[in-house]
Chain A
């Protein structure tokens, strides 16, 4: 079953690449370096999706104590951290030619960095507790705290970046982007979502096999 998912994922990724490089036009203001966005933005989306899944799985685990929920939370957190790291790296690589600097405390990079260290801490906590049941419980509590923290991080960082004015406007939308670019972006969104599902499925399976091996 996961090989079907894997196949579809691969197809999606290839489609995303074709659209991103072959069909989408060279962007007017930034030039071709803008194509990094097809990597960077879907990565952010996957990260948020992953952490939302961690929240739900954590709550389910605390309520029902289902090991599968715990494994899902663990796997999703790991994949989430992976894509968060990717977001930061691609954002930085995009920033160097665009803004002239490897690092800048802009809203997205700052927010994503905070998420990165939060969930890295989650993985660290899991790694440091030998007792499986306690590790699952504590991780679930941390997963809930971290998830509820995300909107707080979002707003605080955004206001921090827009300096002296309190936000009269909410987050600015994507503005007007040519239709083809939007399509390419959406296809990559879908492909990355599939990749997320594929990775989490396989990671959770590995966790289950590990648990069975220990039993």
Chain B
């Protein structure tokens, strides 16, 4: 009986692609959002410095 390796490959290949794609989506989204956070925090730091009264 034929082993249908092409089907086995298709199944595992599909799983690999889908799971890897989801993982990349998660990693990329998290990076975007954390960088957004960083910008906010640094931004507020700068404005605090600017607001300090000069002697």
Contacts and interface: CB of A to CB of B under 8 A. Distances in A.
Q: Are any A and B Cβ atoms less than 8 Å apart in their complex?
A: yes
Contact of A31 (B4, B10, B34): B4
Nearest to B29: A206
B8 to A, nearest CB: 6
- Size band of the interface chain A makes with B: 20 to 34
Contacts, number: 68
B50 interface: no
A35 interface: yes
Interface in A167-215: 195, 199, 202-203, 205-206, 209-210, 212-213
Interface string B23-48: 10011011001101100000000000
Interface residues of B, number: 24
Contact of A32 (B3, B22, B23, B29): B3
A93 interface: yes
A97 B2 contact: yes
A82 B22 contact: yes
Contacts of B10: 93
